[in-house]
Structure 1
Amino acid sequence: MRSVDPLSSLLSGIRAEGSVVSRAVLTEPWTIRFADDAPLTMISVLRGGGTLLLPDGTERAVGAGDTAIVRGPAPFHLADHPTAVHTSHTTYEIACFTED
């Protein structure tokens, strides 16, 4: 039996049915909140950059050309700067699922 790395294993079980694609061009300060219990979220940064703020408190910088895969379902943020979540500004929310 062939060994499969964890990322390949995770991605092999995913179907793109019902996927949502969104594009955002934002001016600082900004925060995007992902809180819809998605089992997996893929974020690709085309220009600029930001910081992923994960549920366990981990912060990961992402820049132009980077792709991040976040395993759900806990809410997380993508912000222009780690402290943006705690400052007054407009917060955007991306919803992949709708209420039944």
Structure 2
Amino acid sequence: MDELVPLLIVAGALAVIMGFFTWLASLVRRRGLAGTAVRGAIASYDEAFYGTAHESHYEIQAQAERKTPVPSPDDPFRLSRGAPGRPGRRGLRRPRRGH
């Protein structure tokens, strides 16, 4: 019986620690605190062990940073509606009446 007590203490401590980390992970996910630090850590891990996963991480970042799709040269020209740098229908103002 004396040999079993230390084993039960270690198993109980391990269960408490794992429960704490599970609770902490759910808290971080709920509040969105995992941000860029976790993404950076996972990206460096992927770079070291999985080259294709690291390349796809950068591809996903590039897609997320892309704001508007680039038009194809074969597409017909159309004025955009209120895009910066191009006068569209919203960019032109009509004069007010009565002033």
* Structure-1-length-normalised TM-score: 0.21
* Structure number with bigger Rg: 2
* Structure-2-length-normalised TM-score: 0.21
Higher percent of residues as strand: 1
Higher percent of residues as helix: 2
